[in-house]
Structure 1
Amino acid sequence: MSLYDVSLRSQANYPYVTFYYYKEWQDFAMELHEHDSVEIMYVMCGSCKIELEGETLHLKKGQFIIIDANVPHRLHVQSEKKCRMANVEFAFRPGVTNYLPFKQVVEETPSLLQMLCDYQPYLLFLDSNDIYGCLKNVILELDKKGTSTDFMVQLLLSQLMIRISELANRNDYAPEQNLYNKKAVEFIHQNYDRDIRVKDIADAVHLHPGYLHRVFKETMGCSINHYLILHRMKKAKELIAQTDIRITDVPYYIGVNTQQYFSTIFRKYTGNTPMEFRREQQRLHLQSDDFIKK
């Protein structure tokens, strides 16, 4: 059953663990597979790659992913690297226990309701809300052979999902997007004067270009290329207005290879040619000087 199935918010279902482990992987390539359970994979140390939805995600220490039920995926760990992971897979079933049904947990937790109303085949996070501690408690409880109870497992799973939803809905975090967007913006600001592509930016923040493009646009409201152009035009205007650099040299200061393309894009974003913009700035500067003298 999908984590986003509406019946989880309308009928009495209870979470239960179908599989779990602590494990260190090396030189491992899992077959593409899917299962009926929701899976949480947490990288405790090292790094790995997870392929799903046509993307390759690179996970490092402190990152974790939630993969919805029936989403094909595979884990890959390179031979020269190691990756220690904690994993819990869980599903839902109807029944009666001493614990609250999951729908009531959702009803009482606005952040969880908000997260579950927006279907995502997977969610990728950087832990900053003690998620590892909650996940570890689930696994330790399951390891209590003969003494573990459905009540405690359901309680701990619910706590885990609540903490994850709080992380997902923090305004200053917005899952992993803000972290990667910040790194992408920093890379652009530091390298805009070079010939860079989306792939270069994605490599710098260790994400698949397609995934970075999607989360950047969702969070920033524009594509990476559009943001790069805007930043280059901002720098071009500063150079034209505040320096005596020749107009023909400006493109090479901002990572644009041809004068013709620079002139076309500058006019599109400013409404003036580079030379018109410089003349207008010089005129405004003279007017300002005359005003000060008076």
Structure 2
Amino acid sequence: MSIYASENRYAIINAFYILQLEEFHMDVHEHKRCEIMYVANGSCLVELNGQLTVLGERHFVFIDQNVPHRLIVEENVPCTVLNLEFSCSPNQSGTDLHYIKKRSSSFRNFLSKPQKYQLFFDNYNMLDCLKSLIDTLEKKHLDNQFLIELLFSQFFVLLSYCMQEGKRQDGIHYTKKAKEYIDEHYLEDISADLIANHVGINRSYLHTLFSKYENCSITNYINNLRVERAAFLLKNTSMSVTDIAFSTGFNSRQHFGYTFKKYFQRSPLQYRKLPGIYIKANTSSFTQHKSL
């Protein structure tokens, strides 16, 4: 039963789990229960009403009743998922949603905007709440019922807080995490797949985020760091161009020379001969290289 129907005053938990998945393909299905799928780490795909969306770390989705959906965990992209399913009905049993609505303006706002499903980013420690709730449910002690109701009520309030947050900040979070990893490893043999796995999202989503927040490709960002380092070595050491090429992460002198000239409009040797001039790399005119 839909959580948005005012007559469905009471909520009861029907199913719950925490799973670590290496690869998983769920069949499309729907049910009358409401559902939360939360990604604790890694990333996955969720199909909702025929539309695929990526859920990364600290993402979660709320699904109302009768929405066709399925979970997909791709090979080599492991994922930890927390799941909670609950039904809402007029039957006087379970957590009283009307009571929460009276006490929380955020929850009232959530209920006033019905949607088949909603995607969220966790800014309010929803993960800790879900873990505590599932852990308490698994213990199956009769004395835990009051604690379950408290945690379940907290869950609804945090859900509404996340909705109220407005624009999701996940893209900035993942881009920052990727940049930190690149800044530490750009001199090594790194790839977009390796970076995406470290961040916990898939490669295509990472490319989209860099285009959106950095206005360049992942390769451009890495090459910018590499040629800036190479320029420093050309001016401040007697290392050969070949040695500089390999020490800054390039796999050949030819690739290094081509890339360097694209950034600095001159070859490494021509740059080295410039007396006392340091020219900052210009990435705005560089054509994206798709080697990653």
Give TM-score scaled by structure 2 length.
Answer: 0.59
Residue 55 of structure 1 contacts residue 210 of structure 1 at CA under 8 Å; is this kept in 2?
no
Which runs of structure 2 are paired with 1:101-120 in the superposition (5 Å)? none
Residues 138-178 of structure 1: per-residue CA shift (max 9 Å, x gap): 999xx99xx99xxx9x98676333321465648xxx22x33
- Counterpart position of 2:38: 42
- Paired AA for residue 65 in structure 1: F
Q: For residues 256 and 20 of structure 2, what CA distance do their matches in structure 1 show?
A: 48
- Paired AA for residue 267 in structure 1: K
Q: Secondary structure at the match of 1:159?
A: helix
Residues 64-119 of structure 1: per-residue CA shift (max 9 Å, x gap): 421556464226699xx99683524689xxxxx89979xx969979xxx9xx9xxx
Q: For residues 8 and 45 of structure 2, what CA distance do their matches in structure 1 show?
A: 29
- Counterpart position of 1:215: 209
Report the CA distance between 1:136 and its aligned residue: 8.0
1:73 to 70, 73, 95: 70
1:244 aligns with 2:244: no
Q: For residues 99 and 58 of structure 1, what CA distance do their matches in structure 2 show?
A: 29
- Counterpart position of 2:177: 183
In structure 2, stretches of 5+ residues that fail to align are: 89-97, 279-292
Residue 202 of structure 1 contacts residue 208 of structure 1 at CA under 8 Å; is this kept in 2?
yes
Which runs of structure 2 are paired with 1:127-142 in the superposition (5 Å)? 128-132=123-127
- Counterpart position of 1:22: 16
Report the CA distance between 1:259 and its aligned residue: 1.6
- Paired AA for residue 197 in structure 1: S
- Counterpart position of 1:85: 82
Residue 120 of structure 2 contacts residue 163 of structure 2 at CA under 8 Å; is this kept in 1?
no
Residue 57 of structure 1 contacts residue 208 of structure 1 at CA under 8 Å; is this kept in 2?
no
Residue 38 of structure 1 contacts residue 66 of structure 1 at CA under 8 Å; is this kept in 2?
no
Report the CA distance between 1:198 and its aligned residue: 0.7
1:270 to 249, 253, 264: 264
- Counterpart position of 2:284: none
Report the CA distance between 1:267 and its aligned residue: 1.1
- Paired AA for residue 200 in structure 2: H
Are the structure 2 counterparts of residues 223 and 34 from structure 1 closer, same or farther at C-alpha, using a change threshold of 3 Å?
farther
Are the structure 2 counterparts of residues 65 and 237 from structure 1 closer, same or farther at C-alpha, using a change threshold of 3 Å?
same
Report the CA distance between 1:271 and its aligned residue: 1.7
- Counterpart position of 2:161: 163
Q: Secondary structure at the match of 1:195?
A: coil
Residues 165-203 of structure 1: per-residue CA shift (max 9 Å, x gap): 465648xxx22x333323322222222222221111122
C-alpha RMSD of the superposition? 5.3
Q: For residues 198 and 218 of structure 1, what CA distance do their matches in structure 2 show?
A: 16
- Paired AA for residue 263 in structure 1: G
Residue 15 of structure 1 contacts residue 90 of structure 1 at CA under 8 Å; is this kept in 2?
no
Residue 213 of structure 1 contacts residue 223 of structure 1 at CA under 8 Å; is this kept in 2?
yes
1:33 to 16, 28, 36: 28
Are the structure 2 counterparts of residues 39 and 228 from structure 1 closer, same or farther at C-alpha, using a change threshold of 3 Å?
farther
The total of aligned residue pairs comes to: 251
Report the CA distance between 1:56 and its aligned residue: 7.5
Residue 184 of structure 1 contacts residue 201 of structure 1 at CA under 8 Å; is this kept in 2?
yes
- Counterpart position of 2:199: 205
Q: For residues 14 and 211 of structure 2, what CA distance do their matches in structure 1 show?
A: 35
In structure 1, stretches of 5+ residues that fail to align are: 1-7, 92-96, 286-294
Are the structure 2 counterparts of residues 257 and 73 from structure 1 closer, same or farther at C-alpha, using a change threshold of 3 Å?
same
Report the CA distance between 1:253 and its aligned residue: 1.0
Residue 29 of structure 1 contacts residue 75 of structure 1 at CA under 8 Å; is this kept in 2?
yes
Report the CA distance between 1:262 and its aligned residue: 1.3
Q: For residues 53 and 241 of structure 2, what CA distance do their matches in structure 1 show?
A: 42
